[in-house]
Amino acid sequence: MSARPRAVVLLSGGLDSATAAAIARSEGFDLYALTIEYGQRHSVEIECARAVARALGAVRHVELRVDLAVFGGSALTDCIDVPKDRDLGSAEIPATYVPARNTVFLSLAMAWAEAARAQDIYIGVNALDYSGYPDCRPEFIEAFERLAALATKAGVEGARLRIHAPLIRMTKAEIIRRGLELKVDYGLTRSCYDPDRAGRPCGHCDSCLLRAKGFAEAGVKDPAF
């Protein structure tokens, strides 16, 4: 058995979570990678998550289906158009918001962490170059950590679950630079909310715009293109 501590890492197949996973590895953790299939419209990101987990040497990779689409309420799971060429400075929360997504994701990560005796969870949320989702903010992450201390047997027995959100105060360019230092292969990642049938990014959704801005500001060509 490995003597390295274990971390559950939420891995979506996108740029941010790949970087968060690489940071977890660089901080000495064995990676327990968790990908949630939540009824998003396309499966290209699941394939990317697999490739990233493999590239980072994850000890285990679980793909778990949780069909949030049954509840409706999001352009990512419903028949609602994904907004294009939006003003990224807008304070409005866009239609791509998935109700309670990160709470669901973190609670599932917590379930695995407790079962696997891990005390660390990594999530690639970002509150700077982002779409204004409430569950990407530092105060949300802190509230979840407080909940975790009360929610589990491990917590009651004194183990303190730490939720690491290492990207939360970084710009997209800073994330990309950090990932490149850690040899993340961004060619394996995809970020588009609305790819075509062949998996090609639309270039106009928030996620494409933020990714393009990040690579431009980092002065690097996006290897996924």
* Cα 199 from chain centroid (whole Å): 19
At its nearest, how many Å lie between a copy of itself and the CB of residue 185? 27
At its nearest, how many Å lie between a copy of itself and the CB of residue 79? 14
Question: In whole angstroms, what is the distance from residue 98 CA to residue 88 CA?
Answer: 18
Nearer to a copy of itself, 72 or 223 (CB): 72
Q: How many other C-beta atoms can be found within 10 angstroms of the C-beta atom of residue 105?
A: 23
Cα 219 to Cα 60, 160, 212, 224, distances in angstroms: 34, 40, 11, 15
For position 46 contacting a copy of itself by CB under 8 A, the verdict is no
At its nearest, how many Å lie between a copy of itself and the CB of residue 78? 9
Nearer to a copy of itself, 100 or 182 (CB): 100
- Give the CA-trace dihedral at 97, 103, 106, 111, to 10 degrees: -140
Q: Which tokens is 64 given?
A: 């778990």
Q: Sheet containing 162-164: which strands, arranged edge to edge?
A: 60-65, 30-37, 6-10, 120-122, 162-164
Q: How many other C-beta atoms can be found within 10 angstroms of the C-beta atom of residue 85?
A: 11
- Per CB under 8 A, contacts with a copy of itself among 127-186 are 133-135, 137, 139-140, 143-144, 146-148, 150-156
For position 100 contacting a copy of itself by CB under 8 A, the verdict is yes
For position 51 contacting a copy of itself by CB under 8 A, the verdict is no
Given candidates 54, 64, 181, 223, which one binds a copy of itself under the rule CB under 8 A? 64
The phi, psi pair for 222, rounded to 5°, reads -70, 115
Nearer to a copy of itself, 80 or 216 (CB): 80
Q: Report the interface residues with a copy of itself, using CB under 8 A.
A: 62, 64-68, 70-74, 93, 97-104, 106-108, 110-112, 114-116, 133-135, 137, 139-140, 143-144, 146-148, 150-156
